[in-house]
């Protein structure tokens, strides 16, 4: 259904009317339009992870394949947020994130697709805030597409906050005669939540046409709250009824229960976040920081299954999930689990130095002088 419409020439990057799934029709406010920014539906396939509990199956929803420059879970939120920006007559967008923010990169690309300027406020260390941020990973794409980048230190960010920082820049742009539209951190507001309510409709349809797979659980990383709000609300309201498990990679679970509650209250759902989602802490050393064990896990899973996880989000979620399975196998035995890969591959480039000792080996090919040339002689040159 979605695949057929995506195949039509000119449908990508087009604006289209939006009607919520019937089971979400009572949620309000509901968006009336969306931009086609991603390649959907993304595939679901079996993920042959090692050392699973008895009878446990893990399947993977490949939202990392929703695009290239514009990829991952952020695309689903931006389809609604960018449609709203255009509807409000914006000529530029503002958003905020970490120095290797996948959301900021996706926003920068989406803005250019729609002929809007993009202003990014990026958080970095106090030591690097006055230096050129370089051309690694997400930053490279942002700078290639011409995003305007303002750097702030982690200390400044912590003291002032993302909302005030974005508002400061918005006021400056308004004074210059611009028409800015602010997108929150991670695209996680009530409007952005529709991205993963819609993803549940997509998964529900994939389950219905497959006929032989029913998921008991959905597992996903949590970084700003919008993805888990949409998945948890959608799973509860739809026919899926899968239990949603979120592994938080930055703030504590208590923060996210409260934040998700605000998002679903914003849609007048009348539901309690504690009833919809189970949130566990998987931040380890902290946001975008990894232990050697976590990075080795990312490498080992790639080598074993071909699935490359990002170290900031899905890598920590999968690591947390398998640790939980090892310590509490009875909780997971015999269950069918859908793991949502939220993308973030470009973040790996920021970990090159740490990964160098863990990555695969190489060697110089051994070419003896006796290797025959194409013409059959023994000389190589």
Greatest pairwise CA separation for the chain in angstroms: 81
Cα separation of 9 and 24, whole Å? 30
Contact 188, 162 (CB under 8 A): no
| Element containing residue 73 per DSSP (H, E) | none
Which three-class secondary structure string do you get for 296-323?
A: HHHHHHHHHHCCCCCCCCHHHHHHHHHH
Beta-sheet strands, E only, within the chain: 15-17, 33-35, 44-46, 57-62, 92-98, 117-124, 148-153, 180-182, 217-222, 243-248, 277-281, 336-341
Which residues, in sequence order, are bridge partners of residue 244?
218, 277
Cα separation of 186 and 188, whole Å? 5
- DSSP 8-state secondary structure symbol assigned to residue 34: E
> Which single residue is written with the structure tokens 């949130």?
279
Contact 221, 313 (CB under 8 A): yes
Q: Among the options 36, 101, 224, 248, which is catalytic?
A: 101
Nearest to 74 by CA among 113, 116, 108: 108
> Which single residue is written with the structure tokens 């939980």?
324
> Which single residue is written with the structure tokens 């993805």?
227
DSSP 105-167: HHHHHHHHHTT-EEEEEEEE-TTTTTS---S-THHHHHHHTT-EEEEEEHHHHHHH-HHHHHH
Is 248 a catalytic site residue?
no
Contact 243, 216 (CB under 8 A): yes
Residues involved in catalysis: 101
């Amino acid at each position: 259904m979605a695949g057929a419409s995506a195949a039509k020439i000119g449908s990508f990057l087009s604006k289209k009317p939006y009607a919520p799934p019937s089971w979400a029709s009572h949620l309000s406010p509901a968006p009336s339009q969306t931009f086609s920014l991603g390649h959907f539906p993304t595939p679901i396939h079996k993920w042959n992870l090692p050392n699973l509990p008895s009878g446990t199956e893990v399947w993977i929803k490949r939202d990392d394949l929703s695009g290239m420059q514009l990829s991952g879970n952020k695309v689903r939120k931006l389809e609604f947020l960018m449609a709203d920006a255009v509807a409000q007559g914006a000529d530029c967008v503002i958003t905020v994130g970490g120095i290797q923010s996948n959301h900021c990169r996706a926003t920068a690309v989406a803005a250019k697709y729609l002929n809007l300027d993009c202003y990014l406020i990026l958080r970095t260390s106090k030591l690097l805030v006055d230096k050129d941020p370089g051309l690694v990973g997400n930053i490279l794409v942002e700078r290639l597409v011409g995003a305007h980048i303002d750097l702030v230190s982690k200390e400044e960010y912590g003291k002032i906050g993302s909302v005030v920082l974005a508002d400061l820049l918005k006021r400056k742009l308004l004074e210059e005669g611009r028409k800015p539209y602010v997108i929150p951190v991670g695209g996680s507001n009530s409007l952005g939540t529709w991205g993963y309510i819609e993803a549940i409709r997509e998964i529900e349809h994939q389950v219905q046409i497959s006929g032989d797979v029913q998921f008991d659980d959905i597992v996903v990383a949590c970084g700003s709250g919008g993805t888990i709000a949409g998945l948890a609300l959608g799973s509860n309201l739809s026919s899926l009824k899968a239990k949603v498990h979120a592994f938080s990679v930055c703030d504590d679970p208590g923060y996210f229960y409260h934040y998700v509650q605000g998002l679903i209250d914003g849609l007048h759902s009348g539901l309690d976040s504690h009833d919809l989602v189970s949130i566990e802490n998987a931040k380890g050393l902290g946001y975008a920081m990894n232990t050697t064990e976590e990075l080795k896990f990312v490498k080992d899973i790639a080598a074993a299954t071909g699935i490359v996880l990002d170290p900031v989000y899905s890598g920590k979620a999968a690591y947390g999930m398998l640790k939980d399975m090892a310590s509490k196998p009875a909780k997971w035995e015999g269950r069918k689990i859908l793991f949502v890969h939220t993308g973030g591959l470009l973040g790996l480039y920021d970990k090159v130095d740490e990964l160098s000792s863990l990555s695969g080996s190489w060697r110089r090919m051994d070419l003896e002088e006796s290797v025959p040339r194409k013409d059959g002689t023994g000389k190589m040159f």
